[in-house]
Structure 1
Protein backbone atom coordinates (compact mmCIF):
# COMPACT_ATOMS: atom_id res chain seq x y z
CA UNK A 1 0.00 0.00 0.00
CA UNK A 2 1.21 3.50 -0.86
CA UNK A 3 2.65 5.77 1.81
CA UNK A 4 0.81 9.05 2.49
CA UNK A 5 2.43 12.47 2.72
CA UNK A 6 0.67 15.78 3.29
CA UNK A 7 0.52 19.02 1.36
CA UNK A 8 -2.27 21.41 2.31
CA UNK A 9 -2.40 23.30 -1.00
CA UNK A 10 -2.83 20.56 -3.59
CA UNK A 11 -4.69 22.88 -5.94
CA UNK A 12 -5.04 22.26 -9.68
CA UNK A 13 -1.99 19.95 -9.76
CA UNK A 14 -4.06 17.24 -8.09
CA UNK A 15 -5.41 15.79 -11.33
CA UNK A 16 -4.55 12.65 -13.34
CA UNK A 17 -1.62 13.22 -15.68
CA UNK A 18 -0.21 16.17 -13.77
CA UNK A 19 3.13 16.30 -11.98
CA UNK A 20 2.56 16.99 -8.31
CA UNK A 21 5.42 18.26 -6.15
CA UNK A 22 6.12 17.84 -2.47
CA UNK A 23 8.70 20.19 -0.90
CA UNK A 24 10.17 21.24 2.43
CA UNK A 25 10.20 19.15 5.57
CA UNK A 26 7.59 16.72 4.29
CA UNK A 27 9.72 15.92 1.24
CA UNK A 28 12.84 15.66 3.40
CA UNK A 29 11.03 13.21 5.65
CA UNK A 30 9.98 11.16 2.61
CA UNK A 31 13.53 11.02 1.27
CA UNK A 32 15.54 10.54 4.47
CA UNK A 33 13.18 8.68 6.83
CA UNK A 34 10.88 6.77 4.50
CA UNK A 35 13.60 6.44 1.84
CA UNK A 36 11.15 6.94 -1.01
CA UNK A 37 12.75 6.24 -4.39
CA UNK A 38 11.91 6.93 -8.03
CA UNK A 39 9.46 4.34 -9.31
CA UNK A 40 7.63 3.84 -6.01
CA UNK A 41 3.94 4.65 -5.75
CA UNK A 42 2.93 7.09 -3.01
CA UNK A 43 -0.02 9.30 -2.13
CA UNK A 44 -0.13 13.01 -1.34
CA UNK A 45 -3.16 14.35 0.52
CA UNK A 46 -4.33 17.71 1.76
CA UNK A 47 -5.85 16.39 4.99
CA UNK A 48 -9.29 17.63 3.90
CA UNK A 49 -10.50 14.73 1.79
CA UNK A 50 -8.38 14.86 -1.37
CA UNK A 51 -5.68 12.26 -2.00
CA UNK A 52 -3.58 12.08 -5.17
CA UNK A 53 -1.68 8.86 -5.94
CA UNK A 54 1.06 8.27 -8.45
CA UNK A 55 4.56 7.06 -9.25
CA UNK A 56 7.54 9.01 -7.97
CA UNK A 57 9.40 10.58 -10.92
CA UNK A 58 11.87 12.82 -9.10
CA UNK A 59 13.44 13.03 -5.64
CA UNK A 60 15.85 15.36 -3.89
CA UNK A 61 16.93 16.35 -0.37
CA UNK A 62 13.87 18.59 0.06
CA UNK A 63 11.70 17.90 -2.97
CA UNK A 64 9.80 15.06 -4.54
CA UNK A 65 7.41 14.78 -7.49
CA UNK A 66 4.87 12.20 -8.59
CA UNK A 67 3.08 11.58 -11.88
CA UNK A 68 -0.54 11.60 -10.70
CA UNK A 69 -2.47 8.55 -11.86
CA UNK A 70 -5.52 8.78 -9.61
CA UNK A 71 -7.23 11.35 -7.41
CA UNK A 72 -9.74 10.41 -4.71
CA UNK A 73 -12.13 12.87 -3.08
CA UNK A 74 -13.43 11.44 0.19
CA UNK A 75 -16.46 13.04 1.82
CA UNK A 76 -16.31 13.78 5.53
CA UNK A 77 -18.45 11.44 7.65
CA UNK A 78 -22.06 12.54 8.04
CA UNK A 79 -21.68 12.25 11.82
CA UNK A 80 -18.40 13.12 13.47
CA UNK A 81 -16.87 11.24 16.39
CA UNK A 82 -15.17 13.46 18.98
CA UNK A 83 -12.74 12.23 21.63
CA UNK A 84 -12.76 14.35 24.78
CA UNK A 85 -9.53 13.16 26.39
CA UNK A 86 -8.67 14.16 29.96
CA UNK A 87 -5.10 15.32 30.47
CA UNK A 88 -3.10 12.42 31.90
CA UNK A 89 0.36 11.91 33.33
CA UNK A 90 3.19 10.53 31.25
CA UNK A 91 2.26 9.99 27.64
CA UNK A 92 -1.03 8.17 28.21
CA UNK A 93 -3.17 10.94 26.76
CA UNK A 94 -0.85 11.17 23.74
CA UNK A 95 -1.14 7.42 23.16
CA UNK A 96 -4.91 7.81 23.15
CA UNK A 97 -4.66 10.56 20.52
CA UNK A 98 -2.44 8.41 18.33
CA UNK A 99 -4.59 5.29 18.52
CA UNK A 100 -7.94 7.05 18.07
CA UNK A 101 -6.60 8.91 15.04
CA UNK A 102 -5.65 5.60 13.46
CA UNK A 103 -9.14 4.31 14.28
CA UNK A 104 -10.88 7.25 12.62
CA UNK A 105 -11.74 9.88 15.24
CA UNK A 106 -12.74 13.20 13.65
CA UNK A 107 -11.82 15.62 16.43
CA UNK A 108 -9.94 15.61 19.73
CA UNK A 109 -10.55 17.93 22.67
CA UNK A 110 -8.06 18.06 25.58
CA UNK A 111 -9.97 18.22 28.85
CA UNK A 112 -8.71 19.74 32.12
CA UNK A 113 -10.57 17.32 34.41
CA UNK A 114 -10.63 17.84 38.17
CA UNK A 115 -8.51 14.75 38.78
CA UNK A 116 -6.04 15.35 35.97
CA UNK A 117 -2.51 15.19 37.38
CA UNK A 118 -1.16 17.03 34.35
CA UNK A 119 -2.04 20.73 34.24
CA UNK A 120 -1.80 23.10 31.28
CA UNK A 121 -1.40 26.83 31.80
CA UNK A 122 -1.77 29.12 28.78
CA UNK A 123 1.72 28.36 27.45
CA UNK A 124 1.45 24.63 28.11
CA UNK A 125 -1.97 24.58 26.48
CA UNK A 126 -0.55 26.03 23.27
CA UNK A 127 2.41 23.68 23.22
CA UNK A 128 0.30 20.71 24.29
CA UNK A 129 -2.20 21.29 21.52
CA UNK A 130 0.62 21.58 18.99
CA UNK A 131 2.09 18.33 20.29
CA UNK A 132 -1.24 16.51 20.05
CA UNK A 133 -1.80 17.90 16.54
CA UNK A 134 1.63 16.64 15.47
CA UNK A 135 0.86 13.18 16.87
CA UNK A 136 -2.50 13.14 15.08
CA UNK A 137 -0.87 14.24 11.82
CA UNK A 138 1.70 11.44 11.89
CA UNK A 139 -0.92 8.86 12.88
CA UNK A 140 -3.16 10.00 10.02
CA UNK A 141 -0.29 9.58 7.57
CA UNK A 142 0.52 6.13 8.91
CA UNK A 143 -3.09 5.00 8.54
CA UNK A 144 -3.46 6.78 5.15
CA UNK A 145 -6.43 8.90 6.19
CA UNK A 146 -7.97 11.38 3.79
CA UNK A 147 -9.06 13.66 6.65
CA UNK A 148 -6.90 14.94 9.49
CA UNK A 149 -8.66 15.07 12.86
CA UNK A 150 -9.22 18.52 14.31
CA UNK A 151 -7.26 18.98 17.55
CA UNK A 152 -9.19 21.66 19.41
CA UNK A 153 -8.56 24.06 22.27
CA UNK A 154 -8.39 22.90 25.89
CA UNK A 155 -11.88 22.57 27.40
CA UNK A 156 -13.12 22.73 30.98
CA UNK A 157 -15.93 20.76 32.59
CA UNK A 158 -18.13 23.86 32.20
CA UNK A 159 -17.36 23.87 28.48
CA UNK A 160 -18.32 20.20 28.19
CA UNK A 161 -21.58 20.78 30.04
CA UNK A 162 -22.47 23.52 27.58
CA UNK A 163 -21.54 21.40 24.57
CA UNK A 164 -23.67 18.50 25.83
CA UNK A 165 -26.72 20.45 24.69
CA UNK A 166 -25.46 20.55 21.07
CA UNK A 167 -24.15 17.02 20.56
CA UNK A 168 -24.69 13.48 21.83
CA UNK A 169 -22.25 13.22 24.75
CA UNK A 170 -21.31 9.83 26.18
CA UNK A 171 -19.26 9.76 29.37
CA UNK A 172 -17.29 6.57 30.00
CA UNK A 173 -17.96 5.47 33.57
CA UNK A 174 -17.35 1.85 34.73
CA UNK A 175 -20.24 1.98 37.22
CA UNK A 176 -22.84 3.21 34.73
CA UNK A 177 -25.99 1.14 34.20
CA UNK A 178 -26.20 1.72 30.44
CA UNK A 179 -23.80 0.04 28.03
CA UNK A 180 -22.10 1.86 25.17
CA UNK A 181 -23.07 -0.96 22.84
CA UNK A 182 -26.77 -0.34 23.60
CA UNK A 183 -27.06 3.42 24.18
CA UNK A 184 -29.20 5.48 21.79
CA UNK A 185 -26.86 7.52 19.58
CA UNK A 186 -29.58 9.75 18.22
CA UNK A 187 -30.18 10.46 14.55
CA UNK A 188 -27.91 13.40 13.76
CA UNK A 189 -25.00 15.48 14.95
CA UNK A 190 -21.62 14.60 16.36
CA UNK A 191 -21.09 11.97 19.02
CA UNK A 192 -18.60 12.90 21.75
CA UNK A 193 -16.90 10.34 24.00
CA UNK A 194 -15.59 11.70 27.30
CA UNK A 195 -12.64 9.83 28.83
CA UNK A 196 -11.51 10.63 32.35
CA UNK A 197 -7.98 10.71 33.84
CA UNK A 198 -6.25 7.90 35.76
CA UNK A 199 -8.24 8.47 38.94
CA UNK A 200 -11.56 8.53 37.11
CA UNK A 201 -14.04 11.36 36.70
CA UNK A 202 -14.95 13.17 39.92
CA UNK A 203 -18.51 12.56 41.20
CA UNK A 204 -19.47 16.24 40.96
CA UNK A 205 -18.28 16.32 37.35
CA UNK A 206 -20.34 13.24 36.53
CA UNK A 207 -23.38 14.87 38.12
CA UNK A 208 -22.85 18.12 36.23
CA UNK A 209 -22.38 16.44 32.87
CA UNK A 210 -25.36 14.16 33.40
CA UNK A 211 -27.54 17.11 34.41
CA UNK A 212 -26.53 18.82 31.17
CA UNK A 213 -27.78 15.93 29.04
CA UNK A 214 -24.73 13.69 28.82
CA UNK A 215 -25.23 9.94 29.25
CA UNK A 216 -23.01 7.80 31.48
CA UNK A 217 -22.05 4.54 29.75
CA UNK A 218 -19.85 1.54 30.43
CA UNK A 219 -18.08 -0.77 28.00
CA UNK A 220 -17.69 -3.94 30.03
CA UNK A 221 -16.67 -5.38 33.35
CA UNK A 222 -13.03 -4.28 33.15
CA UNK A 223 -11.65 -0.87 34.06
CA UNK A 224 -9.53 0.41 31.17
CA UNK A 225 -6.63 2.82 31.35
CA UNK A 226 -7.19 6.34 30.06
CA UNK A 227 -4.91 5.47 27.13
CA UNK A 228 -7.06 2.51 26.02
CA UNK A 229 -10.62 3.50 26.94
CA UNK A 230 -10.92 6.07 24.15
CA UNK A 231 -9.62 3.82 21.37
CA UNK A 232 -11.95 1.01 22.50
CA UNK A 233 -14.94 3.35 22.46
CA UNK A 234 -14.03 4.83 19.06
CA UNK A 235 -13.77 1.36 17.56
CA UNK A 236 -17.18 0.38 18.92
CA UNK A 237 -18.80 3.61 17.70
CA UNK A 238 -17.23 3.21 14.26
CA UNK A 239 -19.01 -0.11 13.94
CA UNK A 240 -22.29 1.22 15.28
CA UNK A 241 -22.27 4.21 12.92
CA UNK A 242 -21.62 1.98 9.92
CA UNK A 243 -18.07 3.11 9.22
CA UNK A 244 -16.70 -0.40 9.61
Structure 2
Protein backbone atom coordinates (compact mmCIF):
# COMPACT_ATOMS: atom_id res chain seq x y z
CA UNK A 1 0.00 0.00 0.00
CA UNK A 2 1.33 3.46 -0.92
CA UNK A 3 -0.06 6.79 0.29
CA UNK A 4 0.72 10.32 -0.84
CA UNK A 5 1.05 12.94 1.88
CA UNK A 6 1.60 16.69 1.71
CA UNK A 7 5.09 17.74 2.74
CA UNK A 8 3.56 19.70 5.62
CA UNK A 9 2.29 16.45 7.14
CA UNK A 10 5.74 14.86 7.16
CA UNK A 11 8.13 15.61 10.01
CA UNK A 12 11.56 14.34 10.96
CA UNK A 13 10.18 11.31 12.81
CA UNK A 14 6.43 11.14 12.19
CA UNK A 15 3.88 11.38 9.38
CA UNK A 16 0.26 12.42 9.94
CA UNK A 17 -2.45 11.23 7.57
CA UNK A 18 -5.60 13.34 7.89
CA UNK A 19 -7.32 12.76 4.54
CA UNK A 20 -10.62 11.07 5.35
CA UNK A 21 -10.56 8.95 2.19
CA UNK A 22 -7.13 7.58 3.03
CA UNK A 23 -8.10 6.95 6.64
CA UNK A 24 -11.21 4.99 5.61
CA UNK A 25 -9.22 2.99 3.07
CA UNK A 26 -6.56 2.08 5.60
CA UNK A 27 -8.92 1.21 8.44
CA UNK A 28 -12.08 -0.09 6.73
CA UNK A 29 -10.87 -1.57 3.45
CA UNK A 30 -7.35 -2.76 4.22
CA UNK A 31 -8.13 -3.18 7.92
CA UNK A 32 -4.66 -2.07 8.96
CA UNK A 33 -3.87 -1.73 12.63
CA UNK A 34 -1.11 -0.41 14.90
CA UNK A 35 2.17 -2.08 14.02
CA UNK A 36 1.37 -2.49 10.30
CA UNK A 37 3.75 -0.87 7.80
CA UNK A 38 2.97 1.15 4.66
CA UNK A 39 4.83 3.23 2.05
CA UNK A 40 4.34 7.00 1.89
CA UNK A 41 5.48 9.48 -0.77
CA UNK A 42 5.71 13.26 -0.63
CA UNK A 43 5.10 13.38 -4.44
CA UNK A 44 8.22 15.51 -4.91
CA UNK A 45 11.43 13.70 -3.98
CA UNK A 46 11.20 11.37 -0.98
CA UNK A 47 9.50 8.10 -0.17
CA UNK A 48 9.18 6.60 3.28
CA UNK A 49 8.61 3.26 4.97
CA UNK A 50 6.48 3.92 8.03
CA UNK A 51 4.73 2.03 10.83
CA UNK A 52 1.27 2.85 12.15
CA UNK A 53 1.46 3.89 15.82
CA UNK A 54 -2.08 5.26 16.12
CA UNK A 55 -5.14 4.99 13.93
CA UNK A 56 -8.58 6.48 14.58
CA UNK A 57 -11.35 8.27 12.69
CA UNK A 58 -9.55 11.62 12.68
CA UNK A 59 -5.93 10.75 12.04
CA UNK A 60 -3.37 8.06 11.30
CA UNK A 61 -0.01 8.65 12.97
CA UNK A 62 3.01 6.91 11.46
CA UNK A 63 6.57 6.66 12.69
CA UNK A 64 9.21 6.86 9.96
CA UNK A 65 11.32 3.70 9.66
CA UNK A 66 13.22 4.54 6.47
CA UNK A 67 13.62 7.49 4.08
CA UNK A 68 14.90 7.21 0.51
CA UNK A 69 14.85 9.22 -2.69
CA UNK A 70 12.43 7.93 -5.32
CA UNK A 71 13.52 4.49 -6.50
CA UNK A 72 10.85 3.85 -9.16
CA UNK A 73 10.52 7.28 -10.74
CA UNK A 74 12.03 7.72 -14.24
CA UNK A 75 14.65 10.42 -14.78
CA UNK A 76 13.22 11.11 -18.23
CA UNK A 77 10.12 13.32 -18.25
CA UNK A 78 7.72 12.29 -21.01
CA UNK A 79 4.49 14.21 -21.59
CA UNK A 80 1.78 12.61 -23.70
CA UNK A 81 -0.31 15.06 -25.74
CA UNK A 82 -3.29 12.86 -26.56
CA UNK A 83 -5.89 13.69 -29.17
CA UNK A 84 -9.10 13.18 -27.19
CA UNK A 85 -10.68 9.83 -28.13
CA UNK A 86 -14.26 8.61 -27.91
CA UNK A 87 -15.96 6.68 -25.10
CA UNK A 88 -13.79 5.37 -22.26
CA UNK A 89 -10.55 5.00 -24.20
CA UNK A 90 -8.87 7.86 -22.35
CA UNK A 91 -9.19 6.01 -19.06
CA UNK A 92 -7.24 3.04 -20.40
CA UNK A 93 -4.63 5.34 -21.94
CA UNK A 94 -4.07 7.12 -18.63
CA UNK A 95 -3.88 3.96 -16.55
CA UNK A 96 -1.38 2.16 -18.76
CA UNK A 97 0.77 5.19 -19.52
CA UNK A 98 1.08 5.96 -15.80
CA UNK A 99 2.30 2.39 -15.28
CA UNK A 100 4.81 2.86 -18.11
CA UNK A 101 6.28 6.00 -16.54
CA UNK A 102 4.61 9.00 -18.19
CA UNK A 103 5.25 12.34 -16.45
CA UNK A 104 2.05 14.11 -17.52
CA UNK A 105 -0.88 13.70 -19.91
CA UNK A 106 -2.52 16.58 -21.76
CA UNK A 107 -5.86 16.01 -23.58
CA UNK A 108 -5.95 17.89 -26.90
CA UNK A 109 -8.85 18.87 -29.14
CA UNK A 110 -7.82 18.29 -32.75
CA UNK A 111 -9.62 18.72 -36.07
CA UNK A 112 -10.78 15.11 -36.18
CA UNK A 113 -11.72 14.86 -32.50
CA UNK A 114 -15.32 13.64 -32.25
CA UNK A 115 -15.85 14.49 -28.57
CA UNK A 116 -17.31 17.96 -27.94
CA UNK A 117 -16.68 20.10 -24.86
CA UNK A 118 -20.18 21.05 -23.65
CA UNK A 119 -18.92 23.04 -20.70
CA UNK A 120 -18.71 20.16 -18.21
CA UNK A 121 -15.35 18.79 -19.26
CA UNK A 122 -14.01 19.39 -15.75
CA UNK A 123 -15.92 16.31 -14.57
CA UNK A 124 -14.00 14.17 -17.03
CA UNK A 125 -10.71 15.70 -15.89
CA UNK A 126 -11.52 14.91 -12.26
CA UNK A 127 -12.30 11.31 -13.21
CA UNK A 128 -9.14 10.99 -15.29
CA UNK A 129 -6.99 12.38 -12.47
CA UNK A 130 -8.44 9.84 -10.04
CA UNK A 131 -7.48 7.08 -12.47
CA UNK A 132 -3.91 8.41 -12.50
CA UNK A 133 -3.92 8.55 -8.68
CA UNK A 134 -5.04 4.92 -8.39
CA UNK A 135 -2.60 3.67 -11.05
CA UNK A 136 0.31 5.24 -9.17
CA UNK A 137 -0.64 3.48 -5.95
CA UNK A 138 -0.71 0.14 -7.76
CA UNK A 139 2.69 0.51 -9.44
CA UNK A 140 4.27 2.32 -6.46
CA UNK A 141 5.67 5.33 -8.29
CA UNK A 142 6.96 8.29 -6.32
CA UNK A 143 4.84 11.03 -7.90
CA UNK A 144 1.36 11.29 -9.36
CA UNK A 145 1.34 12.21 -13.08
CA UNK A 146 -1.00 15.12 -13.63
CA UNK A 147 -3.75 15.05 -16.24
CA UNK A 148 -3.68 18.65 -17.45
CA UNK A 149 -6.66 20.66 -18.62
CA UNK A 150 -7.89 20.16 -22.15
CA UNK A 151 -6.24 22.33 -24.80
CA UNK A 152 -6.88 23.23 -28.43
CA UNK A 153 -4.25 22.16 -30.94
CA UNK A 154 -2.92 25.71 -31.33
CA UNK A 155 -2.26 26.04 -27.61
CA UNK A 156 -0.49 22.68 -27.59
CA UNK A 157 1.89 23.96 -30.28
CA UNK A 158 2.95 26.79 -27.95
CA UNK A 159 3.69 24.34 -25.13
CA UNK A 160 5.81 22.11 -27.36
CA UNK A 161 8.54 24.75 -27.37
CA UNK A 162 9.39 23.74 -23.79
CA UNK A 163 10.55 20.20 -24.70
CA UNK A 164 13.97 18.94 -25.75
CA UNK A 165 12.44 16.46 -28.20
CA UNK A 166 9.02 16.22 -29.87
CA UNK A 167 7.95 12.84 -31.26
CA UNK A 168 5.18 12.80 -33.84
CA UNK A 169 4.09 9.21 -34.64
CA UNK A 170 2.42 9.54 -38.04
CA UNK A 171 0.67 6.90 -40.11
CA UNK A 172 2.01 8.44 -43.33
CA UNK A 173 5.65 8.13 -42.24
CA UNK A 174 6.93 4.87 -43.69
CA UNK A 175 10.70 4.73 -43.24
CA UNK A 176 11.97 6.78 -40.28
CA UNK A 177 11.30 4.68 -37.19
CA UNK A 178 11.17 5.86 -33.60
CA UNK A 179 14.25 3.67 -33.04
CA UNK A 180 16.13 5.53 -35.79
CA UNK A 181 15.19 8.84 -34.19
CA UNK A 182 16.08 7.96 -30.61
CA UNK A 183 19.33 6.14 -31.39
CA UNK A 184 20.45 8.97 -33.65
CA UNK A 185 20.25 11.68 -30.98
CA UNK A 186 23.49 13.56 -30.28
CA UNK A 187 22.65 13.74 -26.58
CA UNK A 188 19.99 12.34 -24.31
CA UNK A 189 17.01 14.70 -23.81
CA UNK A 190 15.61 15.43 -20.38
CA UNK A 191 12.08 16.14 -21.57
CA UNK A 192 10.14 14.52 -24.41
CA UNK A 193 6.71 15.31 -25.86
CA UNK A 194 4.78 12.57 -27.65
CA UNK A 195 1.88 13.81 -29.80
CA UNK A 196 -0.86 11.30 -30.66
CA UNK A 197 -3.85 12.00 -32.89
CA UNK A 198 -7.48 10.98 -32.22
CA UNK A 199 -9.28 8.12 -34.00
CA UNK A 200 -9.23 9.86 -37.38
CA UNK A 201 -5.56 10.77 -37.15
CA UNK A 202 -3.99 14.15 -37.92
CA UNK A 203 -5.24 16.47 -40.62
CA UNK A 204 -2.76 17.60 -43.27
CA UNK A 205 -2.80 21.07 -41.71
CA UNK A 206 -1.93 19.68 -38.25
CA UNK A 207 0.84 17.49 -39.65
CA UNK A 208 2.36 20.51 -41.39
CA UNK A 209 2.13 22.57 -38.18
CA UNK A 210 3.95 19.87 -36.22
CA UNK A 211 6.65 19.74 -38.87
CA UNK A 212 7.07 23.50 -38.56
CA UNK A 213 7.28 23.15 -34.76
CA UNK A 214 10.28 20.86 -35.15
CA UNK A 215 8.56 17.59 -34.32
CA UNK A 216 10.22 14.40 -35.53
CA UNK A 217 7.92 12.38 -37.78
CA UNK A 218 8.32 8.71 -36.87
CA UNK A 219 6.66 5.40 -37.60
CA UNK A 220 5.82 2.91 -34.86
CA UNK A 221 5.86 -0.06 -37.24
CA UNK A 222 4.23 -1.50 -40.33
CA UNK A 223 0.74 -1.73 -38.86
CA UNK A 224 -1.62 1.17 -38.13
CA UNK A 225 -2.21 1.40 -34.38
CA UNK A 226 -5.39 2.59 -32.70
CA UNK A 227 -5.14 5.88 -30.85
CA UNK A 228 -5.41 4.10 -27.49
CA UNK A 229 -2.48 1.85 -28.46
CA UNK A 230 -0.19 4.32 -30.21
CA UNK A 231 0.63 6.45 -27.16
CA UNK A 232 1.41 3.43 -25.01
CA UNK A 233 3.62 1.93 -27.72
CA UNK A 234 5.51 5.18 -28.33
CA UNK A 235 5.99 5.70 -24.59
CA UNK A 236 7.25 2.16 -24.04
CA UNK A 237 9.72 2.45 -26.94
CA UNK A 238 10.96 5.83 -25.68
CA UNK A 239 11.43 4.59 -22.14
CA UNK A 240 13.28 1.51 -23.37
CA UNK A 241 15.74 3.51 -25.46
CA UNK A 242 16.30 6.53 -23.21
CA UNK A 243 15.59 5.30 -19.68
CA UNK A 244 16.27 1.58 -19.38
Give the TM interval when normalised to the shorter protein: 0.7 to 0.9
Structure 1: give runs of 5+ residues left out of the alignment: none
The answer to whether the Cα contact below 8 Å between 1:174 and 1:221 also exists between their aligned partners in 2 is: no
Cα RMSD of the aligned pairs, angstroms, is: 2.2
Structure 1 partner of 2:41: 45
Q: CA deviation at 1:77?
A: 5.3
Q: CA deviation at 1:82?
A: 0.5
Structure 2 partner of 1:207: 208
Structure 2 partner of 1:178: 176
Q: CA deviation at 1:9?
A: 3.0
Task: Write the mapping of 1:120-159 to structure 2, written as runs, cut at 5 A.
Answer: 120-124=117-121, 126-159=122-155
Structure 2 partner of 1:234: 235
The answer to whether the Cα contact below 8 Å between 2:106 and 2:150 also exists between their aligned partners in 1 is: yes
Q: Provide the TM-score with structure 1 as the length reference.
A: 0.87
Q: CA deviation at 1:143?
A: 1.1
Say which SS state the counterpart of residue 147 (structure 1) adopts: coil
Q: CA deviation at 1:54?
A: 1.8
Say which SS state the counterpart of residue 162 (structure 2) adopts: coil
Query: Aligned pair 1:28/2:28, yes or no?
Result: no
Structure 2: give runs of 5+ residues left out of the alignment: none
Moved over 6 A (4+): none
Output one character per residue of 1:139-190: Cα deviation in whole Å (capped at 9) or x when no partner: 1111111122132222222123333333221112133131112214554342
Query: Aligned pair 1:197/2:198, yes or no?
Result: yes
Q: Provide the TM-score with structure 2 as the length reference.
A: 0.87
